[in-house]
Amino acid sequence: MRKIFITGDTHGDLTRFNTRNFPEGKDLTKDDIIFQLGDFGTIWSDNEKSNEKYWTQWLIEKPWTTFIILGNHEGYDRIMELPETTQFGARCWEYKTQAGSLYFIKAGEIMTIDGETFLCIRGALSIDKAYRTEGRSWWPQEMLSAAEETNTLDNLDKIGWKVDWMLTHTTADSCIQGFLDNPNSEKFNDPVSRFLEFIANKLEFKGNLFGHFHNTRTYIDPAGDYYRCFYHDIINLEDIRKDQNAEKAQNDN
């Protein structure tokens, strides 16, 4: 069975994937997967830069396959113009080179990998957008469109509102307090988080895995649902399952 790893925001710095920081990577194959949970940030401005070409090629040449859940700090104009493909039943934008591809998963798509299902929902509110330039360092597509929300709901209707994992950039509105130390943060006022709250209240799922908050924490809500934030670490999904079971057992006690 393939291995699946999860990591958080990179903001254009892909050095966490080098052999020194991620020694497990050298033993992986292209069948194995890393999910990067948003603010990938390497594909950025209107014009390709040499460092983008270098680092995307560098990552693509790694022995695994990388899938990206887009965040709020992304070069959306360019990414959304990439050709479309389907991977594991989910529609993606494909950044393709001679060495292989990176895949940016579209909002509301559901991947089925080795019998497990992954609901993928991108986006979040940039609280710093007033200090950025539209089309160069900020893009309004960070917000989900009505069509993307409809796509999400339609896909969940098809499978009876049950998945194994939610892979997102931010998380459900009511859970954010578990990941932010500032009670006045503007990240509490995020339309994407409110949409995720609506989804989580109806959905049967094992856990929500996400980035965005630049920390590594877990939270189990009053209903017993599991939420985990990722930052620099690259963690095997099998280890996440073990940690989840241990935390739920401790919480039940």
Is 249 a residue whose pLDDT tops 90? no
Q: Residue 172: helix, strand or coil by DSSP?
A: coil
Q: How many CB atoms lie within 10 A of CB 41?
A: 16
Q: What is the mean pLDDT of the chain?
A: 93
pLDDT digit string (tens) for 90-134?
Answer: 999 999 998 899 999 999 999 999 999 999 999 999 999 989 999
pLDDT digit string (tens) for 49-98?
Answer: 678 889 999 999 999 999 999 999 999 999 999 999 999 999 999 999 98
Q: Choose among 49, 68, 44, 60: nearest CA to 98.
A: 60
DSSP structural state of residue 144:
P
The predicted pLDDT at position 108 comes to 98
- Which domains are seen in the chain, by residue range? 4-252 (3.60.21)
pLDDT-based confidence at residue 250 (cuts at 50, 70, 90): confident
Pick the range with the lowest mean pLDDT from 3-17, 56-70, 124-138, 154-168.
Answer: 124-138
Say how many CA atoms lie within 13 Å of 247 toward its Cβ.
Answer: 18
> What is the helix (H) or strand (E) element at residue 50, kind and residue range?
helix 50-60
Instruction: Please give the residue that has the higher pLDDT: either 181 or 42.
Output: 42
Task: Using alpha carbons, list the distances in angstroms from residue 115 to 17, 59, 105, 172, 203.
Answer: 27, 27, 19, 25, 18
The predicted pLDDT at position 244 comes to 87
Is 47 a residue whose pLDDT tops 70? no
The predicted pLDDT at position 114 comes to 97
pLDDT (mean) for 24-38: 98
pLDDT digit string (tens) for 174-188?
Answer: 988 888 877 656 666
The predicted pLDDT at position 19 comes to 97
